[in-house]
Every structure is written in structure tokens, then in C-alpha cells.
Amino acid sequence: MNEIVHTSSDLGSGPVVVHVDASFEPLVPKFMTNRKKEVTTMTEAVAQGDFETVRKVAHGMKGVSGSYGFPEMTTVAARLEQAAKTADAGSIRNDLAALASYLDRVEVVYD
């Protein structure tokens, strides 16, 4: 369904192009909006020491991003989920910052 084109591991720092089946175009904008909301939710949660919320949201993100064909996001979400289990706030903050940047840079191309 999707093809990822990027130049570095995980989320990288440059432009990211993700190819998505054109028939799913109506779903992607909401998908992206919801992922950004989740980053905000997790950022607020880790600031409050609420690692359970981070874990739950990351778990959900892991599944849905994989389903839509964003494997880098899946990888980071899985890492966030694990970091939440060990209450590793520093790692969580780093990954959330990278994820926020990624979501701002990613360009979806419909095939």
C-alpha cells in the first residue's frame, strides 16, 4: 500500500515523502491531525509524569501508523511505549520532539 522515501534512520531531519494508495486519500488528513494531537497528549502526559497515558497513546499510535504505512512512526511509537513502561521521561521527550518534527515535514503522495 505505501512506499517510504527518506534519507536517514527513524524519522530523519529532512523531507519525508510517503506514498499512499489514492483510494485512501480521504482518510489521511484526519490520520495526520490525530497523530499530531497524540504527540501533544503524550507531551502533556510526560510533563505530568503520567506514563500510563503515554504508554496507551503510544500503543495506539504504533498500530495505526503501521496500518497506514508509516513504519518510522511505528518504530518510534513502539519505542515510546517501551520508554513509558520504564518511565524514561528523557527518551520520551526526545522521541516526541522528533515525531513532532517528522509530522510537520512529511509529505504524502497519493498514487
d(CA 64, CA 104): 18
Q: Which three cell numbers stand for residue 55?
A: 504508554
Give the binding range for another protein (CB under 8 A) out of 5-13, 39-47, 55-63, 94-102. Answer: 55-63
The nearest distance, CB 82 to another protein, in angstroms, is 12
**Binding another protein by CB under 8 A: which of 74, 80, 84, 106?**
74
**Are the CB atoms for 103 and 36 separated by under 8 Å?**
yes
* Among 34, 40, 44, 86, contact with another protein (rule: CB under 8 A): 34
Among residues 8, 13, 40, 67, which is the contact residue for another protein, using CB under 8 A?
67
Rounded to whole angstroms, how far apart are CA atoms 1 and 71?
Answer: 12
